[in-house]
Every structure is written in structure tokens, then in C-alpha cells.
A and B are shown apart, each in its own frame.
Chain A
Amino acid sequence: MSLPVRITALLVAFVAVAAGVAFIVVHFILGSPPTVTFNASGGVTNVVLQEDPQNNSPSLPQWVSYYVQDPKTGHWVHTTLFSVPAHSTVHMTILGYDGCTPLRNNFWSQIQGTIGGTATVSIVNSKGAATPTRRVSVIDSWAGCTIAHTFAIPSLHVFVPIASPNANDSANNLCGVSPCTSGPHSVMTFSFKVPTSGTFRWQCFVPCGGGYLDGNGGPMQTIGYMTGNMEVRA
């Protein structure tokens, strides 16, 4: 092999390795889901999320996942990062498309840290009919097939169980394409105050990482799926 060929081969190999390292760094280490920005209107920030039994990522479509609705476009964004203005009241609406799983600690069935210590819940069936909206302070995950996930911001003492759709209905008609736009689901609303600026992690307390240790691995420990950050902007 001639010298120019050897040098060229060496350079090509070097560039390939460098490109691989750069891809790993950019894509996996520095890569992060997008952040959806919400603004307040009259001191109230409306945030809309949905939780699905699957997701539309190319690599791990079988993982359960939250989605955040972009307030500007109305499109669902596959992320768990969002920002809200400081000192506002966050009015949260969560659409629960996933089926039920009992809580490991049923204490999280209690709604805590919301204004009034309550949330409202309505169940929409596969035909689109909704039950009357109820105001609840507990959704007992052990009393029946009632909870899919939770939305919790521990440092703000906000803990809200997210109701699941009717078990029989969801067993046959569960949404199968994310982001979900149809299928049986719950609609939950609640409000809480954001006290100051900072980053507040939020998570789910249902062990819904199927196939992982104690059900708490995989999507439960991956930002962009069942846990994320709420950025409070000053």
C-alpha cells in the first residue's frame, strides 16, 4: 500500500471515529428533549399534558410516556420539560390515556399540594362520552382499577394521582398510536402555585416501567418519558 493511500485511510478512520464520538456526545450526552414554554394570562398559566401507554420515538416506542401540548401550536411535543412564569397559578390539565396500575405506596392516592387539596376528574369512554366532572381529594388505586400514573413535584409537595379510563373499556380500546387523540381516557384538572424561580423535578410514583427492577426503571428514570423538570422563570 502506497504512502498516500495509507495516509488517506488513516485520515478517514480518524474522521470516522471523531464523528462517532461527536455524535454520541451531541445526541446522547448533550441531547435533551425540547422545553415547552408557557406564559401566564391574568396570573394563571394553563398547562396541558397527556400520558400514553406508548410513544412515537423511534428507539423505545413501547415505553409509557408523557406529552406536553405546545400552547402556541396546539401540537403535542414528546417531552417532559416545560417552563412557567414565577408566582403564577399553574392550572394543569392532564389527559390520561394509559390503563391502570396500582400504586406501590397507596398514600399517593391522596391529592396533595393543589389549591384546595383537590382535583377534578372526568372519564371519557371509547365512544367519546364523558362522565360528569367530580371534585375528588383521593383516588384509591387499590380499591379498583382507577389510577394510571401520578404527577408529582415533591419539592412543592404537589402529588396528584392521574385516573385511568374504565378498565374494561381500555382493555379493548386503549389508544395505540401516540400522541393519543382518541380512545378512552381520563381528564384531570388541578391548580397549584409556583412560589419562586428555579427548577423543580417532577415524576410519576406508579411503578410503570414494565420489565425493569421494581417497575421503576426505564421510562420512570428517563427525562422525556415519565419524569422531567418544571422550570419556573423569574
Chain B
Amino acid sequence: MATPEAPAAGAQADRNHGLRIFLIWLPLAAIADLLIWFAWKPHIPPGTMTSSAEHQQFDIAFMALLCAPVLLFVWTYSAYALVNWHYRAGDEEDGPPIHGNAKIQATWIGATAVIVLGLFVFGTVELIVPAGAGAGEGPAPIWKPNVSHMLEVQVIGQQWAFTYRYPQFGGMESTQLVLPANTTVAFNVTSIDVIHSFWAYQLGVKADANPGVNNIAYTTTKDQLGTFIVRCNELCGLWHGAMFNNGHIVSAPAFATWARSVQLKEARNGILRALPPYSTTYDPTVIPQLGSSLVKIVGITGSPGYYYPPQDPVTP
């Protein structure tokens, strides 16, 4: 039978266990967080080529920073329990009945509420501050970069290639995505056939390319020059898996030289005149140079006579 002093002794023993668990967990958590921040974070994708990529890297590292102590606490507690509270031979006694603990319940509810609300605030700030975090914001973005000059780049998805138009350089178009360093870029992403998705992974930019929709995404390049990969991230047909190419971040003077040379070449060979006037979206059934009414006349577009055959129920 238990003596009157037993509850006090039990509470003291619990406190000792708690203190020991805490003292084991604390240095482990501190070491883990230091390793995450200083050793792992610089290598966490998508890297630091742009502001949005850098924010995403920070977000992932910060979340890991929060998660590691929780994970280590669970592991420490489990290991401690296995060592200290496992079954011992001859011990047939039941554990003490436990009925509620207001302090633990309040701590649990309070801590989880703080974590959830904190993550809500953190996520919202990290969405707003980097102007949409590199994600497509649709045709009317809420979060725009607060800068006086932006480079406009139109991304046009088509089966199975991306092309890029630069309206500030006469609307020239290229199969290469070249960006200047230290520049805020507005990607105007659209498609002229099915749904694609523009995913410049190392830039931390991803925006769906929908026909008839201008999906705008922002980022700011840093002073890190180099190559990045652009992939389609929406299953779009036979060659979806091959729909990728390399983009380049170059110095501002090198970009200006490249853009002007492409513009000049396309002006000289006549392709600039042959392109439709720059627009945020394009209707492929309309050929501006011919006029919309002419396009669907039988015969003008060759066999079988229609740009889009009338038996196709999906096309406009």
C-alpha cells in the first residue's frame, strides 16, 4: 500500500525524468539546428539565383529548423522511455491511473496554436514580401515588386517547346531564355495550344501556361551568373518529357548585346514583321496579317482547307 509521501516522491521523480530528457534533447537540437543552418542551408535547392529561389531556400531551411527539435524530442523521449520504463522481470504491477493534467493540456493547446498561427503568419509574409514567391499570380497580380523598371519576358508554351518574347526589344522572339543579372523580371506566361507549365526550377519560378490567359510571375535575378533549366511541368502530350531547355543569367551588358543582336537579326530577316503584334495572349485562330475573317475560309489555308477543321468540337 502506498504511503502518504508517495505522490510527492513520484512528482519529484517525474521532474527528474523531465529534466534528464530536456538535458539530452537540448544539445542535440542545438547541434541539429546549427548543422541545418550553416552546413545544409547553402545547398538546399532551388539555390540562390533569384530572390524567389533564395526565399524558397530560406523557407525550407527555416521549416527544417523548426521541425528538427520536434523530431529529436520525439526520438529522445522514445529512447529514454525504452531505456528507463521498459518491462522488468517480476514487475507485475499496473502503472498509476492518470486522470487529466491541466498544465500539460494547456501547454499542448497553447504550443500547437502558436505553431499553427506562427506558420500562417510566416507563410503569408513569405508569399507577400517576395512578390508572390515566384508563382503565377494570374493576369492581375496582387503582389507586385516595388521597382521602377522591370524586364518583361513573355513565355509562350506550345507543343513541345517554349519560346520567349521580349516586348521591350521590339517584340523579338527567341527559343533561348536569357536574363540579365540583378534585374527584376516579370514573366507573362501563356500558351497557344494546350495547358503547359513554365517551371524554371533554379529561378524559383513556376507558372501554368494556359491558352488565352496571361499568368504573371515575378522574380529578381541576383548577381549569380549561370545556366538554369526550364521544364514543362504539365503533362502536355507525346513529347512533354522532352519539353525543356536551358536558360542563362548573364551580365546586364551581355544581355543588352544579346537582345539587341537578336532584335536586329529578326528585323533584318523579316520575322519581326511576320510575328503578330505583341499581346499578353494570342488567339491562334486569328492571323492578324490576314484578318480574322479570312482564316477559316475554305482553301486559304490549304488541305483540308481549315486551320482548325470544323469537325473538331474543342477548338474555338
A interface vs B, CB < 8 Å?
53, 98-102, 104-107, 109-110, 112, 117, 137-138, 140, 142-143, 145, 148, 152, 154-155, 157, 159, 164, 167, 170-171, 174, 201, 203, 205, 207, 210-216, 220-223, 227
A149: min CB distance to chain B, Å: 11
Which residues of B sit under 8 angstroms from A106, Cβ to Cβ? 271, 274-276, 287
Complex: A207 Cα to B160 Cα, angstroms:
12
List residues of B (244-301) whose CB comes within 8 Å of A's CBs. 245, 266, 269-271, 274-276, 282, 284, 287, 289-290, 295, 299-301
What residues of B have a CB within 8 angstroms of the CB of A201 in the complex? Answer: 239, 242
Residues of B within 8 A of A154 (CB): 160-161, 175, 242, 245
Q: Quick check: is B308 within 8 A (CB to CB) of the other chain?
A: yes
Task: With A104-B193, A138-B271, A211-B311 given, name 20 new contacts (CB 8 A).
Answer: A100-B302, A101-B303, A102-B295, A105-B284, A106-B276, A138-B270, A142-B289, A143-B289, A145-B300, A154-B245, A155-B245, A157-B176, A170-B302, A171-B299, A174-B303, A201-B242, A207-B193, A213-B194, A215-B308, A215-B312
Known: A105-B163, A107-B173, A112-B175. A98 touches B276 (CB 8 A): no
Name 13 A/B residue pairs within 8 A (Cβ), A-sorted. Answer: A99-B302, A100-B303, A101-B301, A107-B271, A107-B275, A110-B269, A142-B290, A143-B274, A145-B300, A154-B161, A201-B242, A203-B160, A203-B239
Q: Which chain A residue has the least Cβ–Cβ distance from B244?
A: A155
Closest to A146 in B: B302
Chain B minimum-CB-distance residue to A137? B269
Is the beta-carbon distance between A53 and B303 smaller than 8 angstroms?
A: yes
Which chain B residues border A203 with CB–CB below 8 Å? 160, 239
Tell me whether B181 is interfacial, beta carbon within 8 Å. no
Contact check, A220 vs B159: say whether CB atoms are below 8 A apart. Answer: yes
* Size band of the interface chain B makes with A: 35 or more
Given A154-B161, A201-B239, A216-B193, A142 and B274 contact (CB-CB distance below 8 Å): yes
CB B235 to nearest CB in A, in angstroms, measures 12
B295 proximity list for chain A (CB < 8 A): 102
Report which of B271, B276, B300, B309 forms a contact with A210, defined as CB distance below 8 A: B309
Contact residues of B between 92 and 129, Cβ < 8 Å to A: none
Decide yes or no whether B315 CB sits under 8 A from chain A: yes
Asked if B135 is an interface residue, CB under 8 A from chain A, the answer is no
List of A residues within 8 angstroms of B306 by Cβ: 210
- Chain B residues with CB under 8 Å of A104's CB are 158, 192-193, 284
Do B300 and A105 touch (CB < 8 A)?
Answer: no
Q: Between A and B, how many residue pairs show CB distances below 8 Å?
A: 124
Nearest CB of chain A from residue B265's CB, rounded to whole Å: 8
With A and B bound together, what is the CA distance between A170 and B305 in angstroms?
A: 12
Q: In whole angstroms, what is the CA distance A109 to B314 when docked? A: 26
Residue of A nearest to B163 (CB): A107
Complex CA distance for A171 and B308, rounded to whole angstroms: 18
In the assembled complex, how far is the CB of residue A52 from the closest CB belonging to chain B, in whole angstroms?
A: 11
Complexed CA–CA distance, A197 and B282 (Å): 38
A155 to B300, CA, bound (A): 33
User: Which B residues between 134 and 193 are near A, CB-CB below 8 angstroms?
Assistant: 156, 158-161, 163, 173, 175-176, 192-193
Q: Is the interface of B mostly helix, strand, loop or mixed?
A: loop
Write the nearest CB–CB distance from A219 to chain B, whole angstroms. 11
Q: Closest CB of chain A to B113's CB: distance in Å?
A: 50
CA separation between A89 and B275, bound complex, in Å?
A: 31
**B304 on interface, CB distance cutoff 8 Å:** yes
B315, A213: Cβ atoms under 8 Å?
yes
Given contacts A137-B269, A143-B274, A211-B309, contact A100 B301 (CB under 8 A): yes
CB distance A205 to B287 under 8 Å? no
> Closest CB-CB distance, A169 to chain B, in whole Å?
12
Contacts of A210 in B (CB 8 A): 304, 306, 309
B27 at the interface (CB under 8 A from A): no
Given A138-B274, A145-B302, A154-B245; A110-B289 close (CB under 8 Å): no
- Do A110 and B287 contact each other (CB < 8 Å), given the known contacts A98-B303, A203-B239, A227-B239? no
Q: Which residues of B contact A110 (CB under 8 A)?
A: 266, 269, 271
Q: In the bound complex, how far is the Cα of B282 from the Cα of A154, in angstroms?
A: 22
State how many angstroms separate the Cβ of B148 from the closest Cβ of chain A: 31
B residues near A117, Cβ cutoff 8 Å: 269
Q: Which residues of A contact B301 (CB under 8 A)?
A: 100-102, 145
B307, CB-defined interface residue at 8 Å:
yes
Q: How far is the CA of A154 from the CA of B239 in the complex (A)?
A: 11
How far is it, in angstroms, between the C-alpha of A25 and the C-alpha of B62 when the chains are bound?
50
A100 nearest CB neighbor, chain B only:
B302
Asked if B18 CB lies within 8 Å of chain A CBs, one says no
Known: A142-B274, A213-B312, A214-B194. A105 touches B242 (CB 8 A): no
Chain A residues with Cβ under 8 A from B308's Cβ?
A: 207, 214-215
